Structure 1
Amino acid sequence: MSSSDEPKTAAGEAAGRDAPAPPVSRSLSAARMRDNVARVVWIVCMSLALVLAVAAFTYALEANEDNGLVKLVRDLADVFDLSFFDLDNPVKAFEGKNAGVKTALFNYGLASVVYLVIGRALERVIRP
């Protein structure tokens, strides 16, 4: 009887399945780390863009400035507006009716787009 004709035992089959998996290579773990970092960078940039968009929306809706949540969002937007899209010294200042709303929508909207573009570009550079 040849070895291929011998009946397979349950122990023999289990031994083949329980063989240890090959170790994870360094390049694979580095790729996973870069993927995670890229994901975090994208989420942070997207969150900052969202804060700016919500702040612009509070101006458009003429939200109650005494509300704590509205204050928080506007204060965060003032911090994360890159000092280039600041409402005190805006990129573009509108005049006339609803000038403040238009200025906030334009400048915070533009800052949101900048964060999204920067975030996507950094994600593409970081991700393997």
Structure 2
Amino acid sequence: MTPDRDRDAAGRPRQARPRDALGRPLPYGTPGVEPVPEEPLPPLETVAMARRLVDEGRAFSAHEVLEARWKAGPDEERDLWQGLAQLCVSLTHEARGNDVGAEALRERGIRRLETYAAAGGPTYGLDLAHVVACARGHL
């Protein structure tokens, strides 16, 4: 184990350092944004929380919520959750001024969502065609 890394009581790596709304680490003791749960939420709660976080300008935190779901979810839903997480990371890169990274992640996210939509899996109330159109800037 690396001694300078934050860990929980069981020794698993956990981020205790505060972060700003764009996910950048802040010095210990500095107020940051409220952390999001590290444990996966049920699908509908994941969608609702991710939407709320994006609306609040916290796309990085939304990505963390979606990432927890993708890692815990069934393999058949991986493209859905990973695609949504990649779109959130794209928004984060864009807000940080990294246009090249934003475009690369946006395209990866769009491809994953299109692949998932073609397979016809559950969307948990999301209109994936609308999400993709928004990501492309067509809405």
Work out which of the two has the higher radius of gyration on C-alpha atoms and give 1 or 2.
1
TM over 0.5: no
Return the TM-score normalized by structure 1. Answer: 0.28
Higher helix residue share: 1
Return the TM-score normalized by structure 2. Answer: 0.26
